[in-house]
Structure 1
Amino acid sequence: MTSAIDSPLPAVTRLIATDLDGTLLRDDKTLSDRTTAALAAAEEAGIEVFFVTGRPARWMDVVSPHVQRHGMAICANGAAIADLHDGTLLRAYPLDRAVALAVVDTLREAAPGVSFAVELATGIHYEPAYPPFHMDPGATVAVAEKLLHEEVPGTGTPVLKVLAHHPELAPDAFLSLARDLAGDRASFTRSSPTALLEISGPGVSKAATLAACCAERGISPDEVVAFGDMPNDVEMLSWAGASFAMGNAHPAAVAAASGVTLTNDEDGVAVVIERILAAR
Structure 2
Amino acid sequence: MTSTDASPLPARPRLIATDLDGTLLPDDKVVSARTIAALANAEKAGVEVFFVTGRPPRWMDVVSAHVHGHGLAICANGAVVADLHDGGKVVRVRPLPRDAARDVVQALRDAAPGTTFAVELTTGISYEPGYPRFDLDPGATIDTAEELLQDDADATTDPTAASAPGESGAPVVKLLAYHPDLTPDGFLTLARTVAGDRAEFTRSSPSALLEVSGLGVSKASTLALCCAERGISSDEVVAFGDMPNDLEMLSWAGTSYAMGNAHPDVLAAASGRTVTNNEDGVAVIIEQILARL
Q: Same fold (TM over 0.5)?
A: yes
In the alignment, what sits opposite 1:80? Answer: 80
Query: Residues of 2 paired with 1:102 and 1:154: CA distance?
Result: 19
Q: Give 1:165 deviation, angstroms.
A: 0.3
Q: Equivalent residue of 1:180, what SS? A: helix
Share of identical aligned residues, percent? 71
Q: Is the 8 A contact 2:154 2:170 kept in 1?
A: no
In the alignment, what sits opposite 1:130? Answer: 131
In the alignment, what sits opposite 1:150? Answer: 151
Q: Equivalent residue of 1:128, what SS? A: coil
Q: Deviations over 1:110-133 (max 9, x none)?
A: 101110000000001000000012
Extract structure 1 runs of 4+ deviating beyond 3 A: 151-155
In the alignment, what sits opposite 2:98? Answer: 97
Q: Deviations over 1:83-118 (max 9, x none)?
A: 011221000000000010010000001101110000
Q: Equivalent residue of 1:24, what SS? A: coil
Q: 1:271 to 1:232 in 2, by over 3 A?
A: same
Q: 1:151 to 1:169 in 2, by over 3 A?
A: closer
Q: Is the 8 A contact 1:18 1:52 kept in 2?
A: yes
Query: Residues of 2 paired with 1:5 and 1:239: CA distance?
Result: 19
In the alignment, what sits opposite 1:30? Answer: 30
AA matched with 1:81: V
1:235 partnered with 2:248: yes
Q: Equivalent residue of 2:132, what SS? A: coil
Q: Is the 8 A contact 1:95 1:200 kept in 2?
A: yes
Moved more, 19-28 or 149-158: 149-158
Q: Give 1:247 deviation, angstroms.
A: 0.2
Q: Is the 8 A contact 2:235 2:254 kept in 1?
A: yes
Q: Give 1:153 deviation, angstroms.
A: 6.5
Unpaired runs of at least 5, structure 1: none
Name the count of aligned residue pairs.
Answer: 278
Query: Residues of 1 paired with 2:243 and 2:124: CA distance?
Result: 24
User: What is the TM-score with the length of structure 1 in the denominator?
Assistant: 0.97
After superposition, the CA RMSD in angstroms is: 1.1
Q: Is the 8 A contact 2:5 2:272 kept in 1?
A: no
Q: Give 1:154 deviation, angstroms.
A: 4.0
Q: 1:223 to 1:169 in 2, by over 3 A?
A: same
Q: Give 1:254 deviation, angstroms.
A: 1.1
Q: Give 1:69 deviation, angstroms.
A: 2.1
Q: Give 1:67 deviation, angstroms.
A: 1.1
Q: How does 1:209-248 map to 2 (within 5 A)?
A: 209-248=222-261
Q: Deviations over 1:219-257 (max 9, x none)?
A: 000000000000000000000000000000001111111
Q: Is the 8 A contact 1:4 1:244 kept in 2?
A: no
Q: Is the 8 A contact 2:99 2:152 kept in 1?
A: no
User: What is the TM-score with the length of structure 2 in the denominator?
Assistant: 0.93
Query: Residues of 2 paired with 1:249 and 1:150: CA distance?
Result: 38
Query: Residues of 1 paired with 2:195 and 2:150: CA distance?
Result: 20
Query: Residues of 1 paired with 2:196 and 2:11: CA distance?
Result: 37
Q: Give 1:135 deviation, angstroms.
A: 1.1
In the alignment, what sits opposite 2:50? Answer: 50
Q: Is the 8 A contact 2:74 2:81 kept in 1?
A: yes
